[in-house]
Amino acid sequence: MKKIANKLYIALVFIFLYAPIFVLIANSFNESKSRTVWTGFTFDWYVKLFNNEVILKSLGNTLIIAAVAATISTILGTAAAIGIYNMKKITRSLVINITYIPIMNSEMVTGVSLMLLFVALHIDLGYLTLIIAHITFCVPYVILNVLPKLRQMNRNLYDAALDLGCNPWQAFRHVIIPEIMPGIVTGFLMSITYSIDDFVISYFTHGSTSQTLPITIYSMTRRKVSPEVNALSAIIFVVVLVVLLIMNFNDLRRTKPKKKKEAAR
């Protein structure tokens, strides 16, 4: 009975999480603009989506800003994590606690603060301010993903590589980076996700020609959200699902040989 209750609970949680998404996907094929009345199946909203310059431009802005911000954040965050890892215990604890502040802080406070900073420095709001703002809140996520991998790593690996003839750069590139690569990849993916998803900070730091997709969709809600947005959301969901399946498949493929070797031993 307990197992049935657990399975029922898990099923209800998944239904609660994913039912809205499936409703959205279904509405993207609805011939009518109505959200409640089904009048027929159509692909028209997908065709209109790829002819909608406003949405496509906003999507392009979002992807470009996310890619640039995530790349820079990953480089800065990885370097910062290595620096923090090599600090003394008290200093390291202090810096880590400071790193948590942008994550725990309200997005509205961060957005307004950055906007006031850009205005004070006479920097016009646009792509540059958006990228800087996104880097600001993405770097802490990279640091907090890379640091655990550094703690798991054997501290003597770097010294051993130097003793075996590597110079500092070769030891860092061929020994340290492969050891912390899972944390770097996770931090990069989280940075892209949060950057694409961000609305509040982007709202305060964007310019008239640098609107991201969340801001464009928000502006539509003042009137009525077009079914074209449903079509775009469905495409994004499918792309994310495919990427996750590919990543999980690759992980399973890598772990199987390791399990076979361990079983053989």
* Confidence grade of residue 139 (pLDDT, cut at 50, 70, 90): very high
H or E element that contains 31: none
**Ranges of each domain in the chain:** 1-42, 53-231
Right CATH for 53-231 from 3.30.1330.60, 3.40.50.1100, 2.60.40.10, 1.10.3720.10: 1.10.3720.10
Rounded distance between C-alpha atoms, residue 197 and residue 222, angstroms: 20
Strand partners, 103: none
Contact present, 147 and 81 (Cβ < 8 Å):
yes
Q: Give backbone dihedrals phi and psi of 41, rounded to 5 degrees, phi first.
A: -90, 135
Helices then strands, counting H and E runs in the chain, come out as 12, 0
What confidence tens digit (pLDDT) does each residue in 152-168 have?
888 788 888 888 888 88
Q: Are 129 and 118 in contact (CB under 8 A)?
A: yes
Per-residue pLDDT tens digits for 162-195: 888 888 888 888 888 888 898 998 899 899 989 9
Q: Report which secondary-structure segment, H or E, holds 175.
A: none
Mean pLDDT of the chain: 86
Q: At residue 121, does pLDDT exceed 60?
A: yes
Spatial CA neighbour of 209 closest among 119, 112, 114, 129: 129
Sign of CA dihedral 92, 95, 99, 105: positive
**Residue 75 burial (CB < 10 Å; 0-12/13-18/19+)?**
middle
Phi then psi dihedrals of residue 255, to 5 deg: -80, -25
Spatial contact of 213 and 130, defined as CB atoms under 8 Å apart? no
Specify the residue for token string 């089904």.
Answer: 38
Exposure string of 32-64, with b = 16+ CB inside 10 Å and e = fewer, is eeeeeeeeeeeeebbeebeebeebeebbebbee
Residue 142 has what pLDDT? 93
Exposure b/e, 160-194, CB count within 10 A at least 16 = b: ebeeeebeeeebeeebbeeebeebbebbbbbbbeb
Please give the pLDDT value at position 264: 57
CA distances from 89 to 84, 95, 195 (A): 9, 10, 32
The rounded distance, in Å, linking the Cα atoms of 152 and 162 is 20
- What confidence tier does 118 reach under pLDDT thresholds 50, 70, 90? very high
